[in-house]
Structure formats: C-alpha cells, structure tokens
C-alpha cells in the first residue's frame, strides 16, 4: 500500500509550540514514529508538511496521479476553516483518515467544527502521536 501522510500548518513546530497541548516530542520524533509504523505494516509511506493551504491541495491532487492508495491527514487549523481541502479529498476519491493530536471535541468551540470529517473515512483525535499509528493500521486493514 502506498500511503501519503499530510501535516498542515504549525505541525513542524511540534516540541516548540504549546507543549501542554501537543506534548514535548518534536516533528522529527513524529516522522520517525510514522516511518517505523509504516515499515512494521509493510507499506510505502511519504510524509508531506506545509503551512500553505494551496500547497496541501496541490499535493492531494498529485496523489490522484502518483498511485497513492490512502491518505492520513492532519489539516491542523485548516480543519476548521477550509472547504477546499475536503473538496480536494472528495475530488481525488482516495480514502483519507483525519488525525488530530489533541482532543478537538473538548477545546474551543471553533475547533469542534471539522469540514474534513465530512469526507474522511475515519477521524481520530486526542491520542497524540498514537493517532497516526491507529490511522495507518486502520487503512492497512481496511484496504
Ligand atoms: C490540531 C488541532 C487544530 O485545532 C490545531 O489548529 C492544530 C493541530 C491537532 O493535531 O490537535 O494545529 O490539528
């Protein structure tokens, strides 16, 4: 299985930003964990991070052409504002699992709205880095 993991704005600042919310492990730690999990599951993985909505949409569209079987996406703040990202996921028709490190259901009211959930096959939140592992496992089992 060819898997694409997409991380949205400010996730590259893990370990620096709001440690009480997102923990002390940094972005490289997350990349390492994702890589190890992908190897354990025997899937090919690419991780893409961008702070720009358009770049995320371009990468989702490219996935249509490059043989990507499934997407794991943490759209970060774009979760709550972007219609174009869920539109792109719908357009390419590739199954996507939405992941959030924090429990967005218990945070500010504006974080409790996710436009991406409408198009995701599954949404995982509040499990920290483990959420990415769960998403990879879910896609590996269900595809
Ligand atoms: C986040 C939650 C979002 O509300 C926030 O804007 C983020 C990260 C999470 O992983 O918990 O940047 O997606």
What distance in angstroms lies between residue 29's CA and the mean position of ligand 1's atoms? 17
Name the token pair of 31: 């990349």
What percentage of the chain carries pLDDT values higher than 90? 100
The residues, ordered by sequence, that sit 6+ positions from 27 with a Cβ below 8 Å of its Cβ are 11, 12, 13, 14, 15, 49
Report the residue among 14, 77, 99, 134 best suited for mutation to probe ligand 1: largest number of ligand atoms under 8 A from its CB: 77
Query: What mean pLDDT do residues 99-121 have?
Result: 98
- Cβ–Cβ < 8 Å for 60, 78: no
Tell me whether residue 22 is one of the annotated catalytic residues.
yes
The residues, ordered by sequence, that sit 6+ positions from 42 with a Cβ below 8 Å of its Cβ are none
Q: pLDDT value at position 72? A: 99
DSSP secondary structure letter of residue 67 = T
**Ligand 1: which residues within 6 Å by Cβ?**
10, 74, 76-77, 79, 100-102, 104, 111
Q: pLDDT value at position 74? A: 98
pLDDT in tens, 63-82: 999 999 999 999 999 999 99
Q: pLDDT value at position 48? A: 99
pLDDT in tens, 82-91: 999 999 999 9
Query: What mean pLDDT do residues 13-39 have?
Result: 98
Nearest to 97 by CA among 64, 131, 67, 63: 131
Strands ordered across the beta sheet of 2-7: 44-49, 2-7, 70-74, 96-100, 122-125
């Amino acid at each position: 299985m060819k898997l694409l993991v997409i991380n949205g704005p400010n996730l590259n600042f893990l370990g620096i930003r709001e440690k009480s919310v997102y923990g002390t492990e940094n972005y490289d730690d997350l990349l390492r964990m994702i890589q190890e999990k992908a190897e354990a599951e025997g899937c090919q993985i690419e991780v893409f991070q961008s702070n720009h909505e358009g770049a995320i949409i371009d990468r989702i569209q490219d996935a249509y052409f490059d043989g990507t079987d499934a997407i794991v996406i943490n759209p970060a703040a774009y979760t709550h504002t972007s219609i174009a990202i869920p539109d792109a996921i719908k357009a390419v028709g590739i199954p996507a699992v939405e992941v959030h490190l924090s429990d967005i259901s218990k945070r500010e009211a504006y974080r409790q709205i996710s436009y991406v959930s409408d198009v995701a096959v599954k949404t995982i939140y509040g499990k920290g880095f483990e959420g990415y592992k769960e998403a990879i496992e879910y896609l590996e089992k269900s595809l």
